[in-house]
Amino acid sequence: MNSQWNGQFSSFDLVARLDEHRRTVVQVGDLEIGGDEFVVMAGPCAVESERQLLETASAVAAAGARVLRGGAYKPRSSPYAFQGLGVEGLKILAKARAETGLAIVTEVMCPEDVTLIAEYADIMQVGARSMENYALLQALGPCGRPVLLKRGMCATLEDLLRSAQVIATHGNPDIILCERGIRTFETATRNTFDIAAVPVLKAVSHLPVIVDPSHAAGIRMLVPPLARAATAIGADGLIVEVHPSPDEAWSDGKQSLTFRQFDDMMRDLEPYLALRERPHRGKLELITARGGH
């Protein structure tokens, strides 16, 4: 580990990378996150209707996604924005899982909802605005479901690992970290994708790390290139917003991909993933081409 980080993360002993604990693989049914497979989670920002979600679930599954995302409860910045369908949305997510076989990730916003959402979700998502809601993090300890922990908009990596430590301390070691962009002075994008966060987190923590290019970009056309960057830098997966008609989406339409765009993105990732699968072969070919030994 880089000497610059000595002591900075070691106090988070349950989530820090140690010689005896170098890699955690989070099991979700027959799916392994943090293992050899690059796992893509995809779906709409919000569950709007049964038709919308089932169409999306079918499309993202066909393109190669393994997990369906969709918000039944939405922590919106505006009190006038759509707040989610609640329990009805959870039931629609469960139906989509039954029809497609996709695992479900959905957001939990408060401790009182943990038990209910855990009955429907395969992965409990903690959104950026809730990363430091310590009562919620504590309640997720005994929930019996893996937790997808998103980095807060103004959080350092130390802050992120502190929150992960709270979850682990309360009994839940199955945590997936998510880099989703942070708030900076830049206004061309919704947030600033901290690409260095991925290799730093993988160096200092044994937890899986995925990237949310949708919230990092905030602009549809930027999602595929950021996804490629995440793949190249070593992320364990992605969580991407996809919608049947993004321009008519009830939330986050500007950053949501169409079905065709998502399918194209998944195809575009294939050569990057192939390079990750052949690191030693690539090194050998490079040495041979240079005439080395």
Residue 293 lies in a domain: no
What is the value of pTM for the model shown?
A: 0.90
The CA distance from 180 to 231, in Å, is 14
Backbone phi, then psi, for 30, in 5-degree steps? -95, 10
In order, the DSSP letters of 166-209 are HHHHTT---EEEEE--B--S--SSSSB--TTHHHHHHHHB-S-E
pLDDT in tens, 113-154: 999 999 999 999 999 999 999 999 999 999 999 999 999 999
Backbone phi, then psi, for 284, in 5-degree steps? -65, -45
Residue 275 lies in a domain: yes
pLDDT-based confidence at 280, cuts 50/70/90?
very low
Question: Structurally, how many domains does the chain consist of?
Answer: 1
Give how far the C-alpha of residue 33 lies from the chain's centroid of Cα atoms, to the nearest Å. 10
CATH number of the structural domain spanning residue 171 = 3.20.20.70
CB 240 within 8 A of CB 262: yes
> Which residue segment(s) compose the domain that 171 sits in?
3-288
Number of H helices, E strands in the chain: 10, 10
Cα R_g (the chain), whole angstroms? 19
Residue 6 has a pLDDT of: 59
pLDDT in tens, 155-200: 999 999 999 999 999 999 999 999 999 999 999 999 999 999 999 9
Residue 214 lies in a domain: yes
Residue 172 lies in a domain: yes
283 has pLDDT over 90 = no
